[in-house]
């Protein structure tokens, strides 16, 4: 049952990705933007314009462009099938390389934020669930509703004002390390990890210090939905018939707690996956506030400069990773809750 479930999910996921690649490809070409004139500047000569168009390959029929991009016309150079996302129109370097540089920054930021948010939110959510409708629950509930509906970029700025400008305990929001520190040799692309690998604890601490505010911002924003979800699932589990029946059967307290916890965690896992996938693209605002050169910042730059290959690459990579995460978490969900794969 489980194997078939995985296979079905994989096939659907891949089909979805293919659909997405083609949809994005046509969508950005349908929109009334003119990347050529963006590149050659205002009022170019017709000749310069045509040459630029030829350089970008935009003079060819759109289907030929698509085949090239997908890698179905390998004689013209590598495409998707060959593992290439194309060359950036702005910088001229391969997109894969550029994304490879920016993605780890985002992954580092949001993974750390998720871990902390989760560790804080689960006990708080449970606290609320213990006595639904009580004072603590009311407070927890209002907090989760509030935190879940906040503009993160604004909170980031507030934190900067408070902790950098007023209190001076945080570094300025100007990147992952101070400009004077040389970054550790790149292995994973995540500075904290690379610093440890390079045996530079002081750089590690400095990187953490720089991550402090962006992570705090994201933890605040993320804690809202996570607390709300944990609380809701826990209340539901504690009020479920089977927990009541477990009391009827005289099961020991610890065992009933285990029944309820398992029932509450199973649906939470799926939601966390969705949230994580959302944050891959959604961290852009926090990256922007703190000048972290993550995938979000990269996509802003690509979009504003009409760099089509870069735009396509970013959407594809983010969606691909999200789908993989959904799949992995659905599998965990299926292991915890046998009804899922049924």
Considering only residues 191, 211, 234, 280, which one is a binding residue for other proteins as defined by CB under 8 A?
Answer: 280
Q: Is 7 in the site for other proteins (CB under 8 A)?
A: no
- Part in contact with other proteins (CB under 8 A); list of ranges 61-69, 111-119, 141-149, 186-194: 141-149
Considering only residues 246, 272, 292, 329, which one is a binding residue for other proteins as defined by CB under 8 A?
Answer: 246
Considering only residues 55, 185, 245, 328, which one is a binding residue for other proteins as defined by CB under 8 A?
Answer: 245
SS3 339: coil
Which residues are registered as beta bridge partners of 87? 94
Considering only residues 59, 209, 236, 324, which one is a binding residue for other proteins as defined by CB under 8 A?
Answer: 236
Site for other proteins in 117-136 (CB under 8 A): 132-133
Q: Closest distance between other proteins and the C-beta of residue 189, in Å?
A: 20
Q: How does DSSP assign 158-183, residue by residue?
A: HHIIIIIIIS--S--SS-SS-TTSPP
Distance of CA 134 to the CA centre of its chain: 35
Distance of alpha carbon 338 from alpha carbon 335, whole angstroms? 6
- Part in contact with other proteins (CB under 8 A); list of ranges 3-11, 63-71, 101-109, 152-160: 152-160
SS3 94: strand
Q: In terms of C-beta density within 10 A (0-12 exposed, 13-18 middle, 19 or more buried), how is residue 318 classed?
A: buried
- Part in contact with other proteins (CB under 8 A); list of ranges 29-37, 55-63, 73-81, 181-189: 29-37
Considering only residues 212, 281, 325, 332, which one is a binding residue for other proteins as defined by CB under 8 A?
Answer: 281
Site for other proteins in 161-200 (CB under 8 A): 161, 164-166, 172-173
- Write out the two tokens for 277: 């996938």
Distances from the Cα of 319 to the Cα of 62, 308, 323, 327, angstroms: 24, 17, 6, 12
- Part in contact with other proteins (CB under 8 A); list of ranges 53-61, 81-89, 192-200, 274-282: 274-282
**CA angle in degrees (0–180, nearest 5) for 12-83-40:** 110
Q: Is 4 in the site for other proteins (CB under 8 A)?
A: no
């Amino acid at each position: 049952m489980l194997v078939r479930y995985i296979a079905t999910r994989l096939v659907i996921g891949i089909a979805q990705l293919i659909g997405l690649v083609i949809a994005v490809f046509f969508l950005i070409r349908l929109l009334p933007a003119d990347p050529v004139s963006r590149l050659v500047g205002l009022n170019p000569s017709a000749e310069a314009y045509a040459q630029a168009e030829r350089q970008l390959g935009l003079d060819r029929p759109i289907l030929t462009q698509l085949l090239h991009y997908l890698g179905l016309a390998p004689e013209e150079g590598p495409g998707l099938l060959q593992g290439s996302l194309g060359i950036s129109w702005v910088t001229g370097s391969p997109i894969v390389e550029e994304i490879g540089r920016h993605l780890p920054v985002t992954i580092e930021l949001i993974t750390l934020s998720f871990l902390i948010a989760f560790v804080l939110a689960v006990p708080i959510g449970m606290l609320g669930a213990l006595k639904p409708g009580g004072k603590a629950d009311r407070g927890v509930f209002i907090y989760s509703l509030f935190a879940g509906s906040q503009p993160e970029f604004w909170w980031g700025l507030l934190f900067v004002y408070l902790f950098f400008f007023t209190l001076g305990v945080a570094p300025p929001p100007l990147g992952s390390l101070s400009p004077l520190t040389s970054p550790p040799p790149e292995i994973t692309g995540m500075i904290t990890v690379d610093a440890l690998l390079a045996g530079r604890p002081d750089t590690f601490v400095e990187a953490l210090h720089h991550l402090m505010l962006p992570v705090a911002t994201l933890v605040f924003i993320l804690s809202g939905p996570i607390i709300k979800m944990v609380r809701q699932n826990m209340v539901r589990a504690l009020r479920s018939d089977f927990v009541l029946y477990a009391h009827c059967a005289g099961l020991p307290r610890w065992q009933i707690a285990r029944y309820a916890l398992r029932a509450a965690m199973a649906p939470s896992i799926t939601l966390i996956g969705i949230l994580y996938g959302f944050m891959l693209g959604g961290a852009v605002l926090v990256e922007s506030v703190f000048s972290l050169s993550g995938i979000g910042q990269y996509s802003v730059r690509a979009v504003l400069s009409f760099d089509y290959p870069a735009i396509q690459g970013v959407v594809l990579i983010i969606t691909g990773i999200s789908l993989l995460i959904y799949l992995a978490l659905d599998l965990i969900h299926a292991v915890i809750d046998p009804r899922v794969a049924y």
